[in-house]
């Protein structure tokens, strides 16, 4: 137990260090953008005095390292600053948008995870059969297509040819839960098709790897049928890699929704990030990028912790 706690604390400490490094990379990347931010916002007709005053207001006259630590200190206090586009607090802009992104990812995960696990178990159960080969071919095809291609195909099929779902997934706080779910069916299905293949193939591979273990051979000799062998014996022992790949794909569902949100004009954090880049709203870009990075890191840490807890070999590496 003490060794498990040590490994978990070590992973958490490494995660904190990684997030700090990522915040530095985000700040440096924004600093490296060409052009002067004040001139880009005010326009070419602004006088030098106005530009100088605006630079002072944005603290652009301060050294980069001073501005970085001021920005980091504000983040630790929960102060993300104000948007340059409309002057509103960034926390207000991001809060609702990030909630929408989490909602979209959660709906996609509710569909993708059970489907992927069931298909993975069936693929392992009917290994090397026609069903397994067709399933592998279909999933490889879906994982090979980029998200925007899958999104436009779904729009063409279910919004143009067969008018079942809206092509623009616009939601608001006045809508009921079912209205929101109906509005995001197509983006959820797009994300599901992208991630279910990876989770299914990993589940299949993990179960097949466990089937080569001696205790599975002993269960076979006892006369246990193949379905019970896979569902009750092989799958529970394959949970560690399956949990890991599910957590990683959940992280992708949250941070990889930018293209999907833009295609469906979904009011999420990815859409806000794209709009802020086009407006040169640097504080919002920095905050959005850091939130995406922190979310991805948190889910990766969750995957590591769950793998440690569910796998005795990781809890006791000796």
User: What are the structural domain ranges in the chain?
Assistant: 90-315
CA–CA distance from 195 to each of 39, 191, 200, 202 (Å)? 42, 6, 9, 11
Q: Identify which of 296, 275, 285, 291 has the alpha carbon closest to the alpha carbon of residue 33.
A: 285
Q: Are 253 and 144 in contact (CB under 8 A)?
A: no
pLDDT tens-digit profile of 175-195? 888 888 998 999 999 888 888
> How far is the C-alpha of 61 from the C-alpha of 55, rounded, in Å?
6
* Six-digit token string for 88: 């509103």
Q: Residue 253: what pLDDT? A: 82
Residue 89 forms beta bridges with which residues?
82
pLDDT tens-digit profile of 233-290? 777 777 777 777 888 788 888 877 888 888 898 988 888 888 888 777 788 888 888 8
In this prediction, what percent of the chain has a pLDDT beyond 90? 3
DSSP 236: H
> How far is the C-alpha of 250 from the C-alpha of 303, rounded, in Å?
10
pLDDT tens-digit profile of 151-166? 899 999 998 888 888 8
Mean pLDDT (whole number) for 92-113: 88
Superfamily of domain 90-315: MetI-like (1.10.3720.10)
């Amino acid at each position: 137990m003490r060794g498990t706690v040590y490994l978990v604390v070590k992973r958490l400490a490494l995660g904190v260090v990684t997030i700090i490094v990522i915040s530095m990379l985000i700040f440096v990347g924004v600093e490296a953008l060409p052009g002067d931010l004040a001139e880009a916002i005010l326009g070419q007709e602004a006088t030098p005095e106005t530009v100088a005053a605006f630079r002072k207001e944005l603290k652009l006259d301060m050294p980069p390292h001073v501005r970085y630590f001021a920005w980091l200190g504000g983040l630790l206090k929960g102060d993300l600053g104000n948007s340059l586009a409309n002057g509103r607090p960034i926390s207000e802009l991001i809060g609702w948008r990030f909630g929408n992104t989490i909602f979209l990812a959660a709906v996609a995960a509710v569909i993708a995870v059970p489907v992927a696990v069931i298909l993975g178990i069936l693929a392992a159960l009917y290994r090397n059969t026609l069903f397994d080969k067709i399933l592998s071919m279909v999933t490889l095809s879906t994982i090979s297509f980029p998200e925007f291609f899958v999104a436009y195909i779904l729009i063409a099929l279910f919004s143009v040819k067969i008018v079942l779902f809206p092509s623009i997934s616009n939601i608001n706080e006045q809508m009921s839960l079912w209205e929101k779910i109906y509005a995001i069916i197509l983006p959820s299905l797009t994300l599901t098709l992208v991630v279910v293949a990876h989770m299914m193939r990993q589940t299949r591979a993990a179960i097949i790897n466990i089937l080569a273990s001696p205790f599975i051979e002993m269960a076979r000799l006892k006369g246990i049928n193949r379905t019970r062998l896979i569902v009750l014996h092989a799958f529970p022992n394959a949970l560690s890699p399956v949990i890991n790949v599910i957590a990683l794909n959940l992280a992708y569902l949250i941070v990889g929704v930018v293209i999907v949100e833009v295609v469906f004009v979904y009011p999420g954090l990815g859409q806000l990030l794209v709009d802020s880049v086009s407006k040169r709203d640097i504080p919002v870009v920095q905050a959005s990028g850091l939130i995406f990075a922190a979310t991805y890191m948190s889910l990766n840490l969750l995957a590591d912790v769950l793998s440690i807890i569910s796998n005795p070999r990781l809890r006791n590496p000796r």
